[in-house]
Chains A and B, each alone.
Chain A
Amino acid sequence: MAEYSAFALIRNALNGNKDWKPAWRKPEPKASYDVIVIGGGGHGLSTAYYLAKEHGITNVAVLEKGWLGSGNVGRNTTAVRSNYLLPANTRFYEHSMKLWEGLSHDLNYNVMFSQRGCLNLAHTPAQLDDYARRGNAMRHQGVDAELMTPAEISRLIPAMDVSRDARFPVYGGLMQPRAGTARHDAVAWGYARAADRRGVDIVENCEVTGFLHEGKRIVGVTTTRGDIRAKKVAVTVAGSTGRVMQMAGIERLPIESHVLQAFVTESLKPFINTVVTFGMGHFYMSQSDKGGLIYGGDLDGYNSYAQRGNLPVVEEVMAEMLALFPSLAPARVLRSWGGVCDMTMDGSPIITTGPLPGMYLNCGWCYGGFKATPASGWCFAHTIAKDEPHELNAAFTLDRFHRGALIDEKGQGATPRLH
């Protein structure tokens, strides 16, 4: 009998909801583990879960410096999609999509993955060709993709301005029907609970302050709650990657930390039922089940660890929003927030063994971290368990930059703020 179900809800409701158990335990850290995962965000938690589930490695601790899920898993715009151009990315994100499709069952936790589609708007014929290239690349990898006409788009999103006299008229769009949104916090909590039920220790308020070495080898960590030894130490700390790796003596990485803002309006009755992106700037929007329009745009564009952005990007994002939805001018922004993104030099992630013996690194998620959560953990768990990458993450190495084997989805080169 599943712990969470409609039946369980009824039983507990009759009982005054007194019998629900903690979603995850609050264990004291042990002196040693087989694997320590640094970072209790989405990727760290999913890594721990798949280590236990796929590889039977359950003597695992996830160390989180604050509260679980306090990083980007709780600060994103919740979009899930696999509409990538380059084969290494398409394959990886499609694997993620397949895991998403079964995730609520797998975790016995409703992560509210709703496949409401993701539509990229094209505003010139050349841009439509560009999207056709991407859509065809997806189709040749077995991923769903369709081109939509302006009339079809107008039927799907009646509130959108698709008129030809718009400053940037809509010529069509690339739709991935299986894309959608998920409830971001639930993903962290669902993985945490499922990993916990398989024996993983999730230790919150436990900040890593350094690494334990034996020669060159990493054999554990020092933390605010004492030293913890481990056979393997995995780092999944996203925006804090530079900070953590410097403790291990890695001074430089092909990564910059940038702040990305996101916004939500007050709750509205259903307004749009898909994820939509604007093609003449950088804007994306969806609507949550609660009714808030959730949207964002570009990075603020400078190195930052501050989780706060500034006004120019706020103003730009709003202007782009109204270019598509002029009836939303009176709608009101309720909240804004910032997340720290680990931007790589080609916009694609890193999932690898090393760079030191005993260490494993998962970082560089740029904008793409949330949708990657299942596959990132799945591949990282494989990499940790087998000491070699799975073929799905074989391209996401740390040395690809030096080799010139870049996976540059946007073709912007080593300018992280443009990826």
Chain B
Amino acid sequence: MLITCPYCGPRDVSEFTYQGDGNRQRPAPASQNLDAWNEYVYERLNPAGDHNEVWQHSGGCRSHLRVVRNTLTHEISSVAFARGHVAHRSPAKRGTKT
């Protein structure tokens, strides 16, 4: 599997660390809504198909990347820097409690 880091170019998957589901919504830091926190930490969409996920180019520029990858074929359809997407402000892909 090759991931095209926007900074470093196409690199082998062994240079990257998987940082999991990119759909998760972190509640505001001071939020006392325990359900929202629990959902953020523990609940996953886990789709069979395109998956929004986060990878870190840990063996390269160390940027975190937002990647859309198909979990059935491992095909990668988009890669972008994570910075610029503000996770707790971006619209939810599916309905979530906040």
Contact = CB atoms under 8 A, between A and B. Distances in A.
A touches B in complex, CB < 8 A: yes
Interface in B66-80: 69, 71-74
Instruction: Name the prevailing secondary structure of the A interface residues.
Output: mixed
B71 A257 contact: yes
Interface string A300-314: 011111101011100
A246 to B, nearest CB: 8
B91 interface: no
Interface stretch (A64-72, A91-99, A248-256, A322-330): A248-256
Chain B CB within 10 Å, residue with most, of A240, A304, A311, A345 = A304
Contacts of A414: 41-42
A304 B71 contact: yes
Nearest to A399: B38
Given A306-B72, A306-B74, A415-B20, A256 B14 contact: no
Given A257-B71, A312-B12, A312-B14, A303 B42 contact: no
Contact of A256 (B13, B46, B73, B95): B46
A402 B38 contact: yes
Contact of B46 (A257, A306, A415): A257
B49 to A, nearest CB: 9
Interface in B51-98: 51, 53, 55, 69, 71-74, 94-95
Contacts of A312: 12-14
Given A310-B1, A312-B13, A252 B72 contact: no
A307 to B, nearest CB: 10
B8 interface: no
Contact of B42 (A243, A254, A302, A306): A254
